[in-house]
Each structure stands twice: as C-alpha cells, then as structure tokens.
C-alpha cells in the first residue's frame, strides 16, 4: 500500500523528470526502431534511477543500503529498457507518403500515453 508508494514515488519522479529533459517522449522514443528507442530509454534510466535513489535517500534521511541500490539499478534497467524495446518492436513505423493517406491515418489514429506526455510537457515548456 502506502509503503510501496513511498518507495516507488522518488523513482517515478526521477524517471518522469529525466524523460522530460532527455526527450523520452519524443519521436525517437516512440518510433519502431528498437535500438534508437532503447538508447533513449537507457539515457532516461541512467539519469532517472540515480535521481530516484537520491530523492529516496533525502526523504529517508540516509543513504540507501548497497543491496537496495544494486537491485534498484538492475530491476529498473530491465523493466524500463525492456518494455520500451518491446513496445518499439511492436510499433509500426509505416508513415503514409501521400497527403490523402496521411489525413486518413490521422483520423484513424488514437492517442497513446507518450503523445499525451509529449503534449503535456510541450505545454509546460511554453509557460
């Protein structure tokens, strides 16, 4: 319950903020090219997880134990990079070439969480 949330919250803050800084919601991260999407995920992980560890340490008033740091780094790498790579592998990268096909594709397109986050962060950058 609440203990799980207090453990996960610093990592979520670290991941989401680093994704906003490192274009983790951009076209490359959303594309169907697995190596490129995984590369963006690795950059977000490399900044977000240590940031989450620092935030957790500050909230607890102590440096997290070494086993917690190791497990956090490995588990978040596998989960974050793994799901991003899997999603990229399942994503179609077929952009229609002519204007009529592009319009039809736009009408049929449903939004996804990445597009929402990209929109949200682009709006906050404008402020």
CA distance 76 to 19: 14
Report the pLDDT averaged over residues 118-125: 74
In terms of Cα–Cα distance, which of 84, 71, 79 is closest to 7? 71
Question: Does residue 67 surpass a pLDDT of 90?
Answer: yes
Helix (H) or strand (E) holding 116: helix 113-126
Question: Does residue 81 surpass a pLDDT of 70?
Answer: yes
Question: Does residue 110 surpass a pLDDT of 80?
Answer: no
Computed from CA positions of residues 72, 73, 74, 75, in that sequence, does the dihedral angle turn out positive or negative?
positive
């Amino acid at each position: 319950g609440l203990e799980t949330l207090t453990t996960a919250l610093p990592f979520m803050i670290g991941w989401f903020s680093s994704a906003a800084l490192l274009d983790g919601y951009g076209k490359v991260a959303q594309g169907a090219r697995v190596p490129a999407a995984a590369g963006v995920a690795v950059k977000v992980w490399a900044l977000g997880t240590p940031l989450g560890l620092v935030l957790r340490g500050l909230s607890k008033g102590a440096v997290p134990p070494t086993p917690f740091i190791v497990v956090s780094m490995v588990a978040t790498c596998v989960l974050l990079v793994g799901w991003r790579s899997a999603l990229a592998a399942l994503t179609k990268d077929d952009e229609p070439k002519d204007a009529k096909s592009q319009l039809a594709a736009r009408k049929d397109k449903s939004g996804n969480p990445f597009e929402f986050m990209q929109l949200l962060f682009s709006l906050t950058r404008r402020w």
